[in-house]
Amino acid sequence: MPEFNCEETKSYVHEFLHNELAESEISEVTAHLANCDSCEGEYDVESLLNKAISRACVDTPPEDLAQKILLRVRDIQNGAPH
């Protein structure tokens, strides 16, 4: 599983907002944001996610995706390895 560094995350956020990422890549980006103070300060994870999901709602059940990713982010922030 790739771990994104800050530079990669910043470049991926752009695609993220244009709904060009696979679900696994969205998870990577949000996982980095959840773990990285520098990136977290720069981006509001939940508002990014909401924007991405509102774009994705055409072909993805938005609540399922949002909940899955937010739960994953919370797990990471709580230190659960999962």
- Interacting stretch for Zn ion, rule CB under 5 A, among 2-10, 42-50, 52-60, 67-75? 2-10
Neighbour-count burial for 10-46, b at 16+ CB within 10 Å, e otherwise: bebbeebeebebeeeebbbbbbbbbebeebeeebebe
| Minimum CB–partner distance for residue 42 and Zn ion (Å) | 8
In the set 3, 6, 42, 71, which binds Zn ion (CB under 5 A)? 6
Residue nearest to Zn ion (CB): 36
Q: Does 71 bind Zn ion (CB under 5 A)?
A: no
Residues engaged in binding Zn ion (CB under 5 A): 6, 36, 38-39
